[in-house]
Structures are given as C-alpha cells and as structure tokens.
Amino acid sequence: MSNPTEQLVQQIGGTIGAIDHAADALQEARNQAALALEMLAGMPIEPLPEPEPGIVMALYSQNNPEWRDKIYAGGLTFGQAGCLACSADMIASLAGYTDTPPEFAAKLREVGAFSGALLSHPERIPDAYPRLRYDGTINWHNVPADLGILQDELSVGPVIIEVDFNPGGALDQHFVVAEMFSATGGDLVVADPWTGTRIELLRKYGLSNWSLERAVYGLRLLRVAED
C-alpha cells in the first residue's frame, strides 16, 4: 500500500496530467472552430502556436553511485557533504542547465564559489551560470521561520532551505529544495538531495511536535534570472 507521500505525488502528477490533457483538448477545439469559420466565411484564422514545454526540475542525489565518492570541494565527497551543491544544481536545471553535480561543482570551484568545502560565496554562482542570480540568505537559526516570506519565495519558484539532518540535537546542517506547501498546508514538499526524491519535510526533518516554523532554519535565494 502506498504511503501518504506517494499518494500526494500521484495526486499532483494526476492533476498535472489532467491540466495537460485539457490544454491539448482546448487547443484542438480552437483549431477545429477556426477551420470551420474559415470554410464558412472565408476568413483565414491562424492557428495558435504550440505551447512551449515546461522545464521540469532535475532531481539530484548526493549519494548517486556515479559521484557519491567524488570530491566536490575542500577534500569532502558528495556523499559526505554535497547537499548544498546538489540543491543548487537542481535550481540550475530550472534555467535549462544540464550539468551533473560534479560538473556543476567544478565550474563553481573555477569561479571561487567555495571556501574549503563550504559554498561560502554563492553570489559567484552566476559567474559560472549566467542564467542564475543570487539574492542573498535569510537566517532563522534563532527565531521561528517566517512562513509568509517562505510563501512569497515559493510563489517565484522552488527555493533552497536549510534544515536539521538529525532533528533534536545540535544543528546538523542540511539543505533541500522546497517546491510547494503540502495539500494540508502544514508541511512542505521538498526535493531531498540525500535521496534524490521528493518527500514531506516534517516526516524526515522534524520531530512529532515540530511545526514548519521550527523545522526551517533559513533560505538560500538562488534564482533563475529574469530575461
């Protein structure tokens, strides 16, 4: 029996499929009506242009066997600490880039985005990937997360968020990519670079009594640049 997360993913996938099907049906109906009008009234009607396919965010796992043991920076491997690099690469895929995490990290090293193993200079990412921009960091280490700000950021697109890899003790920094609030609004659907899959945030990176305000420690505002 599928778990609630799988059911949610299936529901969202079904909704997207239904929307795509409806769009195709409307396109065909419009073209048929235009053809009938042209035949009856001698009025040529140009067909609507085909809609451009949307870009789907790539899902990368830092534990992919192809690169989990490769060093990304500062002597650390992707499997050890490559979550932020993989999360940033997921955002880069939304701008049309297809570099794998090792290729992505190599280009970031070339522009000096790393300090040791830390991606300390994310503002330099656009030097390697001009279709991206970096709008800064929001830190909620010592205060509850502002879900209004998070909602505003998600209205622009997926956003990198900081969480606790081992909830309940000292902060063990981990990064995931938030895509939307869950159907109930009490959780987030995130792409987790640990596994390369979508999960609900609190199910893995929160305790039973935690809210989203408690579980989200900050944002890294890496964005697709506007034309």
Domains and CATH numbers, the chain: 21-51 (no CATH), 71-224 (3.90.70.30)
Q: What is the DSSP letter of 170?
A: S
Which residue in 114, 156, 110, 116 sits closest to 129, CA to CA?
110
pTM of the model: 0.76
pLDDT tens digits in sequence order for the chain, 227 residues long: 445 555 554 455 444 544 554 555 555 555 565 555 555 555 454 554 544 456 789 999 999 999 999 999 999 999 999 999 999 999 999 999 999 999 999 999 999 999 999 999 999 999 999 999 999 999 999 999 999 999 999 999 999 999 999 998 899 999 999 999 998 878 999 999 999 999 999 999 999 999 999 999 999 999 999 86
d(CA 82, CA 63): 9
Query: Given this model, what pLDDT does residue 168 score?
Result: 87
Three-state helix/strand/coil letters over 71-130: EEECCEEHHHHCHHHHHHHHHHHHCCCCCCHHHHHHHHHHCCCCECCECCCHHHHHHHCC
Question: Which candidate, 70, 67, 114, 66, places its Cα nearest to that of 88?
Answer: 114
Containing H/E element for 223?
Answer: strand 218-224
Provide the β-strand partners of residue 77: 71
Separation CA 117–CA 120 (nearest Å): 9
Exposed, middle or buried: residue 223 (CB in 10 Å: 0-12, 13-18, 19+)? buried
DSSP conformational letter for 226 = P
> Cβ(62)–Cβ(70) under 8 Å?
no
What pLDDT digit, counting tens, does each position of 126-166 carry?
999 999 999 999 999 999 999 999 999 999 999 999 999 99
C-alpha dihedral, 59 to 64 to 70 to 74, nearest 10°: 50
Q: One-letter amino acid identity for 108?
A: L
CA angle 200, 179, 49 (to 5 degrees): 140
Through-space distance between the first and last CA atoms of the chain, rounded to whole angstroms: 45
Instruction: In whole angstroms, give the CA distance from residue 122 to residue 113.
Output: 6
